[in-house]
């Protein structure tokens, strides 16, 4: 049973991804190795885009949340599918610009953008800047005035929606560092202030209620709350907000028992709510933006490791140690996130054991997972962890001075390197 459709087993009994033999990939590129299947990325982009066309008359833009996984090649692929991009730092912006991304389709986020970042965004004519707080609004106004520019902006709003997900990835509730609160009147005052600014153009509102959300109801709720606010702005300030960014957060299947709603269902239901609410409130239907990250990148990726030590502690547990860990796969130590794994070179064999897969970092908590059903694994075997395409490479570190792994893209059986493995000299490149 595989969590994504790009995985299969070939005649050698080896796991394949996008038609490529993972055992051969491990031999060719070494491990640990991130492998991304290009067609899975493309198909997720198309499904989102097509569903906006189908359910919302094409009046919207899918902005890939590049925090999930950013590199030049990923930006090029996403751009070639006609998507926009959500960037959250000058580093993500720089990557997109260098990849030749259409800057007019980029939205720039962040709860504490520096002046350098704002200047970079204005100078590079980034499509719109999602302003998080008043200090940022005032700084941006100054920066734009000095350059004789008038950037489009959105306001990030906390819609007060409590999505059922891990506390650290919830962002839409009032006690959050992100955005303007509705309940307190803060958001309304900020809108008045923005309208009075001469060098920014308030064109939209943004919300993002959290990540890895399975339920569609909170997305519908958030859309209604935001449209109510747009109606209030129209009625009380006589100002039309034409853009509505509904954020990302769509859940994916990490485990076989996970059953997220299809992306199309989300778009169908949310489009309906937007249309109905607009006609009830007498406002124009906004152009909508969505910002999926995980749902585009995660299912496309796997991580390959080589097994080193096998340690059986009688009546307690068996540790299978791999040549990577929390430095390349930090989601277990951060959130206790669960994954499915397989012994890639024994993919047809039965899963006869429940093991703890351990990383090689000097921390007891450095695990890939506990009680994972697995084929009998020994030194030299290749382990593949599924659905690692989002928030693994992008959150990787050099802890213990480990070199970051390479990223390889596969496409219909062919592979190519997208990010080189770090060398030992990379580890000391900034040391003096
Ligand atoms: N838009 C905004 C404003 C966001 O803050 C995020 C994610 C997204 C879009 C994309 O959300 P997605 O579709 O990927 O769920 N490191 C955590 C996830 C943090 C998500 C942060 N914001 C993890 O590994 O689960």
Ligand 1 contact, 294 CB (< 6 A): yes
Does residue 331's CB lie within 6 angstroms of at least one atom of ligand 1? Answer: yes
Beta carbons of 227 and 283 less than 8 angstroms apart: yes
Nearest CA residue ID for atom 6, ligand 1: 248
User: Does residue 182 contact residue 225 with C-beta atoms inside 8 Å?
Assistant: yes
Q: Which residue minimizes the CA distance to atom 16 of ligand 1?
A: 391
Is residue 149 within 6 Å of ligand 1 at its C-beta?
A: no
C-alpha 307 – ligand 1 centre gap (Å): 31
pLDDT tens by residue, 71-110: 999 999 999 999 999 999 999 999 999 999 999 999 999 9
What separation, in Å, do the N-terminal and C-terminal C-alpha atoms of the chain show?
Answer: 50
What residues does 288 pair with on adjacent strands?
Answer: 60, 244
Question: What would you measure as the largest C-alpha separation in the chain, in angstroms?
Answer: 72
- List the structure tokens of 12: 């050698």
Q: Convert the pLDDT of each residue in 294-326 to its tens digit.
A: 999 999 999 999 999 999 999 999 999 999 999
The C-alpha atoms of residue 359 and residue 101 are separated, in whole angstroms, by: 36
Torsion of CA 363, 369, 370, 376, to 10 degrees: -110
Whether 132 lines ligand 1, by a CB cut-off of 6 Å, is no
Task: Please report how many Cα atoms fall inside a 13 Å half-sphere around the Cα of residue 153, on the Cβ side.
Answer: 33
Which phi-psi region, left, alpha or beta, contains residue 359 (left: φ > 0; alpha: ψ -120 to 50)?
Answer: beta
Task: Answer yes or no: is the C-beta of 208 below 6 A from any ligand 1 atom.
Answer: yes
Asked about 362 being catalytic, the answer comes back as: yes
Mention every residue, 6+ apart, whose C-beta is less than 8 A from residue 34: 301, 302, 303, 328, 388, 389, 392, 393, 405, 406, 407, 408, 419
Q: What is the pLDDT of residue 4?
A: 86
pLDDT at 174: 73
CA 163 / ligand 1 centre spacing (Å): 13
- CA distances in angstroms from 338 to 171, 185, 354, 385, listed in the order given: 21, 39, 14, 10
pLDDT at 173: 65
Q: Quick check: CB of 158 below 6 Å from ligand 1?
A: no
Contacts of 245 (CB under 8 A, 6+ apart): 63, 107, 130, 154, 204, 205, 206, 207, 288, 289, 290, 291
**Token reading at 410:** 């596969």
- The H-assigned helical ranges of 81-185 are 90-98, 115-123, 134-146
From the alpha carbon of 251, which atom of ligand 1 is closest? Answer: 15
Residue 227 is predicted with a pLDDT of 98
Nearest C-alpha neighbor of 249 from the set 357, 166, 370, 341: 166
Question: Which of 62, 66, 67, 300 most suits a substitution to test ligand 1, by most atoms within 8 Å of the C-beta?
Answer: 67
Q: Do domains 7-37+299-427 and 109-292 have the same CATH topology?
A: no
User: pLDDT value at position 2?
Assistant: 83
Angle formed at CA 13 by CA 8 and CA 14, multiple of 5 degrees: 60
Residue 293, C-beta contacts closer than 8 angstroms, at least 6 positions apart: 64, 65, 66, 67, 68, 69, 86, 211, 248, 390, 391
Class of domain 109-292: alpha beta
Q: What are phi and psi of 302, to 5 degrees?
A: -135, 165
Q: Determine the distance separating the centroid of ligand 1 and the alpha carbon of 170, expressed in angstroms.
A: 9
Residue owning tokens 């580890």 = 427
* CATH code for the part of the protein at 7-37+299-427: 2.40.37.10
Return the C-alpha torsion angle 170, 302, 267, 171, nearest 10: 10
Query: Could you give the CA distance from residue 15 to residue 344 in angstroms, rounded to a whole number?
Result: 5
Verify whether ligand 1 is closer than 6 Å to residue 339 (CB atom): no
State both tokens at 417. 């390197």
Which parts of the chain sit beneath pLDDT 70? 1, 164-173
CA of 131 to the centre of ligand 1 (A): 17
Q: How far apart are CA 340 and CA 397, in angstroms?
A: 22
> What does the DSSP assignment read for 271-334?
HHHHHHHHHHHT-PPPEEEE--SHHHHGGGEEEEEEEEEEEEETTTEEEEEES--TTT-THHHH
Helices (H) and strands (E) in the chain, counts: 12, 21
Report the SS3 class of residue 254.
coil
Q: Which residues fall within 8 angstroms of residue 330, CB to CB, at 6 or more apart?
A: 392, 395, 396, 397
Distance 210 CA to ligand 1 centre (A): 7
- Pick the catalytic residue from 63, 71, 361, 362: 362
Q: Using H for helix, E for strand and C for coil, what is the string for 35-51?
A: EEEHHHHHHHHHHHHHH
DSSP string for residues in 104-130: GGEEE--SS--HHHHHHHHHTT-SEEE
* Closest protein CA for atom 8 of ligand 1: 248
415 DSSP β-pair partners: 410
Q: Give the nearest ligand 1 atom to 68 CA.
A: 14
Structural domain boundaries of the chain?
A: 7-37+299-427, 109-292
Write down the pLDDT at residue 161: 83
Ligand 1 contacts CB of residue 92 (under 6 A): no
Q: Is 248 in the pocket of ligand 1 (CB under 6 A)?
A: yes
For ligand 1, the distance from its centroid to the CA atom of residue 391, given in whole angstroms, is: 9
In the prediction, which pLDDT does 170 show? Answer: 52
């Amino acid at each position: 049973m595989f969590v994504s459709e790009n995985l299969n087993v070939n005649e050698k009994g080896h796991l394949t991804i996008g038609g490529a033999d993972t055992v051969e990939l491990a031999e060719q590129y070494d491990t640990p190795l991130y492998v991304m299947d290009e067609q899975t990325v493309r198909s997720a982009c198309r499904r989102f885009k097509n569903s906006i066309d189908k359910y919302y008359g094409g009046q919207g833009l899918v902005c890939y949340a590049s925090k999930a996984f950013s590199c030049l090649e990923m930006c090029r692929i996403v751009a070639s599918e006609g998507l926009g991009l959500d960037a959250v730092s000058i580093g993500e912006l720089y990557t997109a610009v260098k990849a030749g991304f259409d800057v007019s389709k980029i939205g720039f986020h962040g709860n504490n953008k520096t002046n350098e970042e704002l200047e970079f965004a204005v100078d590079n004519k980034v499509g719109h800047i999602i302003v998080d707080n008043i200090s940022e609004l005032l700084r941006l106004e100054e920066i734009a005035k000095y350059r004789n520019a008038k950037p489009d902006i959105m306001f990030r709003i906390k819609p007060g929606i409590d999505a059922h997900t891990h506390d650290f990835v919830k962002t839409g509730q009032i006690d959050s560092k992100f955005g303007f609160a509705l309940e307190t009147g803060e958001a309304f005052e900020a809108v008045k202030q923005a309208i009075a600014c001469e060098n920014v153009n308030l064109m939209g509102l943004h919300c993002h209620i959290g990540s890895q959300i399975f339920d569609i109801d909170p997305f519908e709720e958030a859309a209604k709350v935001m449209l109510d606010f747009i109606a209030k702005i129209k009625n009380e300030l006589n100002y039309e907000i034409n853009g509505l960014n509904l954020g990302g957060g769509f859940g994916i299947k990490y485990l076989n028992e996970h059953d997220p709603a299809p992306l199309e269902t989300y778009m169908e239901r949310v489009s309906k709510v937007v249309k109905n609410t607009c006609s009830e409130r007498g406002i124009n239907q906004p152009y909508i933006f969505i910002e999926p990250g995980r749902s585009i990148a995660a299912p496309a990726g796997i991580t390959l490791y080589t097994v080193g030590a096998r340690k059986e502690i009688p009546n307690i547990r068996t540790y299978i140690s791999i040549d990577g860990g929390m430095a390349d796969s930090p989601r277990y130590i951060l959130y206790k996130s669960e994954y499915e794994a397989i012994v890639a070179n024994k993919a047809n064999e039965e899963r006869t054991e429940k093991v703890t897969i351990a990383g090689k970092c000097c921390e007891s908590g450095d695990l890939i997972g506990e009680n994972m059903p697995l084929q009998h694994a020994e030194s030299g075997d290749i382990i593949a962890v599924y659905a690692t395409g989002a928030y693994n490479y992008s959150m990787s570190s050099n802890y213990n001075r480990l070199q970051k792994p390479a990223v390889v893209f596969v496409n219909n059986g062919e592979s190519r390197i997208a990010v080189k493995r770090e060398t030992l000299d990379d580890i000391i490149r900034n040391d003096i």
